[in-house]
Amino acid sequence: MTSRYDALAAHLQRQPGTRYTMSFANIERVIGHPLPPSFKPGHRVFRQWWQNSYAPTSSHVQARCGWIAAGWEVDSLDPVLGSVTFRR
């Protein structure tokens, strides 16, 4: 089964180093779709949407098929700058 977040995984796999920061706008360009409203700062599930969820039955497909599939985890979020930092 494919996911819109497969493109994010492919992008992250090509990144060198142990830390990588992406703007939310760049993530949207990579996946070719806008991020859902729940990702936006100020929304009550903002931080939950960015959780590192490893369970194969997790509903956090963005984590499983995106950054975790590529060997990365969310390290920190900057809602003011609109960015997320991943770490290996």
Q: Which residues of the chain have pLDDT under 50?
A: none
Q: Per-residue pLDDT tens for 5-26?
A: 899 999 999 999 999 999 999 9
pLDDT for the residue numbered 58: 67
Q: Encoding tokens for residue 43?
A: 């929304």
Q: Could you tell me how many residues make up the chain?
A: 88
pLDDT for the residue numbered 55: 64
Return the number of other C-beta atoms located less than 10 Å from residue 48's C-beta: 12
10-32 burial by CB neighbour count: b if 16+ within 10 A, else e? ebbeeeeeeebebebeebeebbe
